[in-house]
Structure 1
Amino acid sequence: MFLRTVLSWAAALASLSEAATTGSFSILTFNVAGLPAWLNPNDTPGDKETNAKKIGARLAEHGHDVVHLQEDFNYHTHIYETDNHPHRTATSGGVPFGSGLNTVANYPWTDFERIKWDDCSLNSGDCLTPKGFTFMRLQLDEGVSIDMYNLHADAGSDSRDIDARKSNFQQMADYIAENSVNNAVIVAGDMNFRYTTTDEGLRGFLDQTGLRDPWVDLVLNGVAPEEGIEATVCENPTTINTCETVDKVFYRGSTSIQLEATSWSYDSSRFLQANGDTLSDHIPVTTNFTWKLTSSY
């Protein structure tokens, strides 16, 4: 009995010593314009099934470690057909049954959940599907995890849309406060928000959650665009990073995991058709991170 106990302790110590204490990974967030073509063509040239297969093939080719997809509705199977990430969420369905939120990754996860927004606006069709956000605890290594959120906020620009979007951000801040206490967190997705837009709740969301924006930190030298000014809206595809889209990535570390964004970029040049046309009306956003366990871990 004593010998078995000693061997068990030795095995546990060996496992801990083999576990990594530092590492790096990349994430991509991409609204893939997967609404049915008859409902919304998304002003994207080409057949949506073909474009979806090309998106999946590009995901496999470029090998981002975590990919968050939005509007992954009716052409979902075509993306998964050509992608090769080993870990994938099961679709929640096409319109009107699914949320359009899916993730593929090179790492496993636990505690996956889909959460529907409490509020939505009929104005832009947001109530036609159970839009919201997903949560997962991504396992980077033995005992090393990061809480990952993928979201699609309410769209539109009238007062009902703005109120719904404020509610979305507050609901998510409350969820993070309850479920990700003292945890490293990454939030990515289609925010349907630009910093130049006034009074929509996202700045308050960042303050409440302690999240940082790597686009602001790394591209804009730490200074976010001011509210109320004219936005520098990106062309699609774009060759510059200083323009702004509604697709964003936010993050924070914790007392046990030092998490840093090392690079941020629009990835549109790698997600194009052969003739240079886009595959979606949104621009994919990629961010590279490093992580390191602290002495308090």
Structure 2
Amino acid sequence: MLRSLAETSFSVLCYNVAGLPALLSSGDPATYSVEMGIRISNWDVVNVQEDFNYHAYIYSENTHEYRTATSGGVPFGSGLNTLSHYPFSNITDLERTKWSDCSTFDSADCLTPKGFTFIEIQLDDGVTIDLYNLHADAGTTAADETARASNLAQLSEYIAANSADNAVIVMGDTNTRYTRSDDTILEFVEGLSLTDGWVEYVRNGVPPTKGADAIVCDENNMTNTCEVVDKILFRGNNYITLTLENWNNENAAFLDADGAMLSDHPPISSIFSWSLNSAIHLSNAVGGPHGDQFTDVASAAAGQTVTSITINAGDRVDGVSLAVSAPTAKTFAHGGTGGTANTLTLNAGEYITAMEAHWGQKNSQTRIFYLKFTTSSGRSTTATMLAVKIGDVIEFDPLSVSSGDGSSSQAGRPLTTGRVVDISLMEEGGDGQCMVRVSPYEPPQMLDLQRTYFKVLPS
């Protein structure tokens, strides 16, 4: 982790660690994997490829706090993993997707379930990046080119469907070159409005020409000007602006004592700074990985006036909708229409200032059981189911909202405290919890910090 970076900057690294079994690997994975794991710790977010049979060595002395679990060695795993000093979002598990097509004509691409992964990285409260890792089909035969084009098309469709309007970083071993006539990396980048860090930083935004000679790296004198098949691609959105501060081929930092490469690929890195649209305030997304994510951030614009907010809920929160009157009347609705609709109509000049959410488990899947929005006038709308168990202490204050530690956010307000001694079973909540109905006049405070989120807009 580059600790000299500003608070609103972060570093990323992409590295094919050549972790195939020694018989198949062109590197020396048993000797080098521990050392690679140590050295990659210096970057904030790392995507690795070919992390197969020496995964335990990579992780053994690595210091990243957040790391994805192996999917297995050859021939069971994809070899794709992410290591981060930033937390993973609680609403996304690592999603692994196998390529629909592969080619056996070169590099034994069908030997393992190569593909791509998706996970969300949380830089700050409400500031997240959709991170993709990939390892595309290798080789240059016609069958390889066809399979690789199919790989990129499959990933493009997934990003368009699952990360529409989100800030995105894609980094991995694409096995592509801009100079190859049949490679589709340029179409992939342009189709998703991505920027290639190498093209932007080293080539002033001008990609190499299709059909031109390959810009091959000299292993004994590797510079940033040569093209590698590993790529770092990125885009911001209406809320987050990502600015590329640096792109670098890190080969020199990953050599052994004799000057040999630790892997058959050089790692590449970038440093990004980020800034936020001051007209928009986003909370974290809350809940879990068992539903479809959504965002209306692309539709957020200055001058919009919220007229009402509706929560549909019964035993659980079923849906939320927000009505906007200006500059164009529109309703943003997500989820279902079941349960009872609880609508709060806002007065002139009134706006939403705080959100509180609690979630639990229903049939082993995450559900939102309590949701509350509070306005600048102190009025609120709630859905009032919550996970509790006998022995829990409930604190509530009908005159104020909770702070992040379970205390009152307004000094001088009396808190009422009670310990749960008897409950009526409403829903299984998991972890020995049950779902009980709580009076809307007594909104619960912090019962489970791991399943609670609270945010107040800055004044």
CA distance, structure 2, for counterparts of residue 64 and residue 57 of structure 1: 11
Tell whether 2:245 aligns with 1:266. no
Greater CA deviation, 214-223 or 171-180? 214-223
Q: Counterpart in 2 of 1:233?
A: 216
> Does structure 2 retain, via aligned residues, the 8 Å contact 1:53–1:82?
yes
Between the aligned partners of 1:171 and 1:288, the Cα distance in structure 2 is 28
Match of 1:215 among 170, 183, 198: 198
Matching of residue 119 in structure 1 with residue 101 in structure 2: yes
Cα deviation, residue 114, structure 1: 0.6
- Percent of matched pairs sharing the same residue: 53
**Does the alignment pair 1:204 with 2:183?**
no
Q: Aligned to 2:14, what secondary structure does the other structure show?
A: strand
One-letter identity of the residue aligned with 2:63: N
C-alpha distance in 1, partners of 2:232/2:220?
19
Q: What CA deviation, in whole Å up to 9, does each residue of 1:121-170 have, x standing for no partner?
A: 11121111110011011000111100000000000111111011010111
Distance 1:236 1:30 in 2: 16
Q: Which amino acid aligns with 2:111?
A: L
* Paired letter, 1:27: V
CA offset at residue 214 of structure 1? 1.5
Report the equivalent of 1:104: 83
Distance (whole Å) between structure 2 residues aligned to residue 194 and residue 200 of structure 1: 7
3-state DSSP of counterpart to 2:140: coil
Structure 2 counterparts to residues 174-213 of structure 1, below 5 A? 174-213=157-196
- Code of the residue aligned with 1:93 in structure 2: it is G
Query: Deviation string for 1:183-233 (max 9, x for gaps)?
Result: 000000101011100122221111210000111111111111111111121
Cα separation, 1, equivalents of 2:158 and 2:204:
30
| Contact 2:216 2:227 survives alignment (8 Å) | yes
Deviations 1:75-126 (A, max 9, x none): 1100100111010000000000000001110011131211111111111211
Summarize the Cα distance change of 1:258–1:237 in structure 2 as closer, same or farther, 3 Å threshold. Answer: farther
Paired amino acid for 1:164? A
Conserved 8 A contact 1:237-1:268: no
Structure 1 residue 296: Cα displacement: 3.9
Asked if structure 1 preserves the Cα contact closer than 8 Å seen for 2:45 and 2:83, the reply is: yes
- What residue is the counterpart of 1:15 in the other structure? none
Q: What are the superposed Cα offsets for residues 27-49 of structure 1, whole Å, 9 maximum, x if unpaired?
A: 00000111101123x1x3xx421
Residue 261 of structure 2 is matched in structure 1 by 278
Q: Is the 8 A contact 1:237 1:278 kept in 2?
A: no
Matched-pair contact (CA < 8 Å) for 1:265–1:286:
yes
**Which residue matches 1:54?**
35
Tell me, yes or no, if structure 1 residue 24 matches structure 2 residue 6: no
Counterpart contact for 2:13–2:40, Cα < 8 Å: no
- 1:154 and 2:137 are equivalent in the alignment: yes
- 2:72 aligned partner: 93
Higher relative contact order (CA 8 A, sep 6+): 1
Mapped to 2, the partners of 1:172 and 1:134 lie a distance apart of: 9
1:38 maps to what in 2? 23
SS at match of 1:187: strand
Q: Distance in 2 between matches of 1:234 and 1:51?
A: 22
Letter in 1 for 2:99: W
* Counterpart pick for 2:235 among 252, 257, 260: 252
- Kindly indicate whether the alpha-carbon contact (under 8 Å) linking 1:28 and 1:286 is maintained by their aligned counterparts in 2: yes
SS, match of residue 149 in structure 2: helix
CA distance in 1, matches of 2:245, 2:18: 28
SS in 2 for 1:188: strand
**Rounded Cα–Cα distance in structure 1 between residues aligned with 2:159 and 2:111:** 26
Moved over 2 A (4+): 235-239
SS in 1 for 2:195: coil
Structure 1 residue 50 displacement after superposition:
1.7
Helix, strand or coil at the partner of 1:269 = helix
Select the structure of larger CA radius of gyration: 2
Given residue 25 of structure 1, which amino acid in structure 2 is its aligned partner?
A: F
> How many pairs does the alignment contain?
271
Corresponding residue SS for 1:109: coil
Partners of 2:157 and 2:250 in 1: how far apart?
31
The structure where helix makes up a greater share of residues is 1
CA offset at residue 72 of structure 1? 0.5
Partner SS for 1:122: coil
Whether contact under 8 Å (1:236, 1:282) holds in the other structure is: no
- Alpha-carbon separation, structure 1, partners of 2:71 and 2:183: 28
**Distance in 1, Cα, partners of 2:35 & 2:220:** 16
Higher normalized strand content (fraction of residues) = 2
Letter in 1 for 2:128: S
Counterpart CA distance in 2 for 1:203 and 1:48 is 32
Of residues 110-119 and 98-107 in structure 1, the stretch that sits farther from structure 2 once superposed is: 110-119
1:203 and 1:164 map into 2 onto residues whose CA distance is: 16
**Distance (Å, rounded) in 1 between the aligned partners of 2:221 and 2:202:** 15
Query: Would you say the 8 A contact 1:238–1:266 is kept in 2?
Result: no
